[in-house]
Amino acid sequence: IESGIIYPIGVDMLHQASGRWKLGLLLALVTAACWATLPVALKMSLSVLDPMTLTWFRFAFAAVFMGLWLLGKRRLSAFGALQPKQWRWLLLATVLLIGNYIGYLLGVKYTSPGNAQLLIQLAPLLMALGGVFIFRDRFVWGQWLGLLIIVLGLGLFFRDQFAGGLVTGHNYLLGSAIVGAAALSWAAYALMQKQLLLKLSSQHILAVIYVFSALLLWPFAHPSALLNLDALHWALLLYCALNTLVAYGAFAEAMEHWQASRVSAVLATTPMLCLGVVAVVHALWPEAVASEHVGVLGFTGAALVVAGSALSSLLGQNKQEKQA
């Protein structure tokens, strides 16, 4: 999944957190920090690499890492039990996740890291809505309220950008539309992954998807461009590649030690953290990343997006956690 969205755990049995909430909080903050800084690293990497090459490298890096990890754990035998239908599902899930990665990256390129981070918050709610209609999941009143607050917050944020004359040409709208499509693509991927979890673990699913993605993107990538990178851009590229692995590793461990709703509420602050990261990087290195130019109305909208995401997480999962 791409930066800053909450990853669904598609299991039927309810999990009991260990109760080590301080460790859970620390790990949740590590995840939020990874997702808040990733858009800035992507934006800077796009100055020397095209989106296809950058995404291909991230998938290839993750494929090698996950493949070696599963090999070391001797867990590759699970793939032998898959039927052709499940392999087709995995291929479709791969296309959807590629759409999410490329779409988010183009959104960062055409708009700004903060704007992309805000819009991508639609992904978990679109996934939840899909669960209502496809898996007959229950969508409680708090989640509906959270959705309305998020829509209101996004409206205020966009109003601030347009009213301040900060949006020029069609790039902003195009980038925003692409991020919205990326959020929809991830939601469809997440719902498909939930079904695939009946046959494979999340680690196996991601390993296959990473391999398929690297192979599918290879013809469109330009690996030779990596030879022209300087030390700084190599560091940024490796950070982008490692970010997802570290973020999801910390996220999984945070869910092990703390309630899911509490972890999700912490992660909901990612858009505001991203705006802060952009401000700091711009102050220290003005030519690297442009400032966001967010006014009072825009910050109000961003705060509402955070509040809506947190509300949906806390009220949407609280009942399940009480039953755990």
Per-residue confidence (pLDDT) for residue 196, from 0 to 100:
81
Residue 157 burial (10 A CB sphere; 0-12, 13-18, 19+): buried
Separation between Cα atoms, residue 38 and residue 42, nearest integer Å = 6
From the list 247, 291, 265, 261, the residue with the least C-alpha distance to 40 is 291
The model's pTM is 0.79
For residues 159 and 299, the answer to whether their CB atoms sit within 8 Å is no
Per-residue confidence (pLDDT) for residue 6, from 0 to 100:
43
Separation between Cα atoms, residue 316 and residue 144, nearest integer Å = 9
List C-alpha distances in Å: 137 to 1, 152, 308: 22, 25, 20
For residues 9 and 255, the answer to whether their CB atoms sit within 8 Å is yes
Chain centroid to CA 213: 16
For residues 317 and 188, the answer to whether their CB atoms sit within 8 Å is no
Separation between Cα atoms, residue 184 and residue 10, nearest integer Å = 18
Per-residue confidence (pLDDT) for residue 33, from 0 to 100:
92
For residues 264 and 306, the answer to whether their CB atoms sit within 8 Å is no
Per-residue confidence (pLDDT) for residue 169, from 0 to 100:
54
List per-block mean pLDDT (blocks of 10 residues) for the chain, which spans 324 residues: 46 54 85 91 93 95 90 78 84 91 91 86 77 72 82 85 61 87 90 79 84 94 95 95 85 72 75 87 85 84 85 63 46
Q: In the chain, helix, strand, coil percent, each to 5? A: 80, 0, 20
Per-residue confidence (pLDDT) for residue 320, from 0 to 100:
47
82 CB-near residues (< 8 Å, 6+ apart): 90, 199, 200
